[in-house]
Amino acid sequence: MTDKQFGAPDVQAPPPAKSRKRRNLLLWVAGPALVLAIAGYFYLTSGRYVSTDNAYVQADHATIAPQISGRVVEVLVHDNQPVKAGDVLFRIDPQPLQIAMARMQAQLESVRSLLDAGRAGYRSAQADLTSAEEALRVNERQYERMKDLRAKGLVAQKDVDDAANNYANARGKRDSDLAALSKAQGMLGGLPNTKDEELAGYKLAQAQYEQTKLDLEHATVHAPIDGVVGKVTLQPGDFLAAGQAAMPLVATATLWVDANFKETDLTHVNIGQPATVEVDTYPGKKWKAHVASISPASGAEFSLLPAQNATGNWVKIVQRIPVRVAIDDNQGPTLRAGMSANVEIDTGKQNSLIGRLQGVNEPAPQQRVAQSR
């Protein structure tokens, strides 16, 4: 009876020595080759991508403040309410402004009436001056005639004196009417035939009227941009001074990311390079972006008390340079100002083995384009 009949296990023959050697040779060759390939990839691409988690979403924002002083009579928005440009946010009591506008309108009409009266007075002064000049000529001739007759002994000296007195009176009347004409002309700005709208007095009254009209329009405060209203503490009955902050308004149309990179990461970063933004609030969601601008100084330079590195004990600290990253396509989840983000920039830098040996790095794509030009 055989072992197979009794259920004895089959014993396979060991693999041939030639196959085992081939497999060992493949492992000894492929393993180091794979390691070298991975190391070469990381070597060639090292430094191409720079990233930071010190980044935050930013947006334009405006502080809504009235341009006039007054008591608030109506508030039409609440916390976190989206608004469009031109929407009414709140209103200031318009009654005092309406009274001021009516007063300025009456003053404008009064100036117009005064100008009309001035023109009538100017014409009257012109007529009086013409009459006075004619009377002066008549009295002058009469005086000369009396002097001739007196020289011939035909009239008494009294008649000559009366003629001289009349001539002097006529000359005084002419001078008085001439002064009255100059005064009437001066009231009209020296331009009696000019339209009211071109005269200085009328322009002043018109400007005051337009100012009160503009103040009345400013009693209704509108949203200057599309956005979302922040915290609203304003209530009807509150008194606001001109320029006093009333509520914040955050824009929704313009969003960007301020990324604070280490200064050592910016060696090959240039404006226009592509970037990727990932916000902590939405894990796994990435936004395409690009480098919009790079700050001319580190963040510490803009602080209220910048570091004094030339005094006392000094410790070198790697500085942060703000980089503005513009989002190319703001689609998907809603981004809000202040959200934490991670930013990665593709500098396009490629390591070159020859360049390494020569101590020269290959330029970034943007630099290569500039050099080719």
CA 130 to chain centre: 62
**pTM (2 d.p.):** 0.64
pLDDT of 310 reads: 77
DSSP type of residue 263: G
Q: Residues 5, 9, 14, 20: is their CA dihedral positive or negative?
A: positive
**Token reading at 128:** 């009086």
Q: What is the pLDDT of residue 277?
A: 95
Whether residue 258 has pLDDT greater than 80: yes
Helices within the chain (DSSP H only): 17-45, 95-151, 157-187, 200-218, 353-358, 365-372
How open is the CA angle 369-371-373, to the nearest 5 degrees?
A: 75
pLDDT at 186: 67
pLDDT in tens, 161-202: 777 888 888 888 888 878 777 777 766 666 666 776 767 778
List, in order of start, the domains of the chain with CATH numbers: 48-59+251-308+315-372 (2.40.30.170), 66-93+219-244 (2.40.50.100), 97-214 (1.20.120)
pLDDT tens-digit readout, 75-128:
999 999 999 999 999 999 999 999 999 999 898 888 887 777 777 777 777 777
pLDDT: is 207 or 39 the higher one? 207
Q: Which two tokens stand for residue 258?
A: 């301020």
Are residues 206 and 32 in contact, defined by beta-carbon separation less than 8 angstroms? no
What is the reported pLDDT for 365?
A: 46
Residues 107, 208: contact at Cβ < 8 Å? yes
- Residue whose structure tokens are 């824009």: 251
More confident residue, 154 or 359: 154
Report pLDDT for 272: 94
DSSP 8-state secondary structure symbol assigned to residue 364 = P
Transcribe 296-363 into DSSP letters: SS-GGGGSSS---TTSSS------EEEEEEEES---SSPP-TT-EEEEEEE------HHHHHHT-PPP
Name the least confident of 3-12, 242-251, 341-350: 3-12
**266 burial via Cβ count (<10 Å: 0-12, 13-18, 19+):** middle
Q: If pLDDT is split at 50, 70 and 90, which confidence band does 350 have? A: low
